[in-house]
């Protein structure tokens, strides 16, 4: 089944299955940060989007580069990455050590489930990675994913930075779609890998976090705080955290099992 994504004011045209249209609707925002782009996609809700991501050349090259940097396949395993990050967070001073609580919940099976990234998750990751190569210049993106009336609505936001910015102009569209009968299935964002870190660099590294190479799939306390607000505001049903290869998926009930800042 073909997937099509119409541009604003333009008729939909057919594109290959599970491939994002190159010209989505752009959402303007005031005072955009460096490299910021907010886009809206409207896609037919076909099974290909939810199936495991294809083993295309870009994805295989990305995996091979990570295996090389991490010393083998074992270093790339989702559990290994979470355990590595957990060890760093447990050793932090003061309240910062609370960041280990969510990785512990994932490791112990109290919240979340990890599986290979879906085609939709990979295509959104890929779109950001084509703007900013993830290994050379790690960045984050965020996306609201909604389903209804035989369609998938995706609101994708990304910029040239590690960290995200939730825009009111984007969220207002999500709220309006929910009022029209779309289900707010999930908020997706990525945790990039971050190598060769230095204190004070663009990855927000400090002396005690240099061994955290990223790519782990437990949400931060700030992430969960935002999820709870979205659940309260418009009924967010889940959250997905991906590194482009694997994704941890959390239910709205998990938001209460996970830890957040007050």
pLDDT tens digits for range 131-140? 999 999 999 9
Nearest-angstrom CA–CA distance, 97 and 95 = 5
Which pLDDT score, from 0 to 100, does residue 22 have? Answer: 65
Asked if residue 7 has pLDDT above 80, the reply is no
Q: Is residue 39 part of a domain?
A: yes
Quote the pTM value. 0.92
Which pLDDT score, from 0 to 100, does residue 82 have? Answer: 98
Strands 183-190 and 141-148 turn out to be antiparallel
Q: Is residue 109 part of a domain?
A: yes
State percent of the chain over pLDDT 70.
94
Asked if residue 90 has pLDDT above 50, the reply is yes
Q: Is residue 18 part of a domain?
A: no
Reported as a pLDDT band with limits 50, 70 and 90, residue 1 is very low
Which pLDDT score, from 0 to 100, does residue 8 have? Answer: 39
Q: Is residue 16 part of a domain?
A: no
Asked if residue 84 has pLDDT above 90, the reply is yes
Q: Count Cβ neighbours within 10 Å for each residue of 157-169 and write b for 16 or more, e otherwise.
A: bbbebbebbebee
Q: Is residue 262 part of a domain?
A: no
How many domains, the chain? 1
Q: Is residue 12 part of a domain?
A: no
Q: Is residue 166 part of a domain?
A: yes
Six-digit token pair at 99?
Answer: 């960041």
Asked if residue 21 has pLDDT above 80, the reply is no
Q: Is residue 11 part of a domain?
A: no
Reported as a pLDDT band with limits 50, 70 and 90, residue 101 is very high
For residue 31, give its domain range.
25-257
């Amino acid at each position: 089944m073909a997937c099509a994504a119409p541009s604003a004011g333009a008729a939909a045209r057919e594109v290959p299955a599970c491939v994002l249209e190159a010209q989505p609707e752009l959402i303007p925002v005031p005072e955009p940060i460096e490299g910021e782009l907010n886009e809206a996609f409207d896609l037919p809700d076909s099974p290909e989007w939810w199936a495991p991501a294809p083993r295309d050349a870009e994805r295989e090259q990305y995996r091979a580069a990570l295996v090389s940097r991490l010393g083998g396949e074992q270093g790339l395993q989702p559990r290994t990455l979470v355990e590595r990050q957990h060890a760093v967070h447990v050793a932090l001073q003061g309240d910062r050590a609370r960041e280990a609580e969510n990785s512990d919940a994932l490791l112990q099976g109290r919240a979340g489930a990890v599986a290979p990234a879906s085609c939709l998750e990979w295509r959104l990751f890929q779109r950001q990675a084509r703007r900013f190569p993830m290994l050379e210049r790690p960045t984050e993106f965020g996306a609201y994913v909604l389903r209804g009336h035989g369609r998938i609505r995706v609101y994708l936001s990304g910029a040239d930075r590690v960290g995200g910015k939730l825009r009111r102009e984007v969220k207002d569209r999500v709220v309006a779609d929910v009022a029209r009968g779309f289900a707010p299935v999930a908020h997706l964002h990525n945790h990039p890998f971050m190598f060769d870190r230095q204190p004070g660099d663009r990855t927000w590294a400090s002396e005690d976090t240099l061994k955290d190479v990223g790519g782990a799939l437990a949400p931060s306390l700030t992430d969960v705080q935002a999820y709870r607000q979205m659940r309260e505001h418009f009924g967010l049903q889940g959250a997905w955290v991906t590194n482009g290869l694997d994704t941890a998926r959390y239910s709205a009930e998990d938001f209460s099992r996970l830890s957040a800042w007050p």
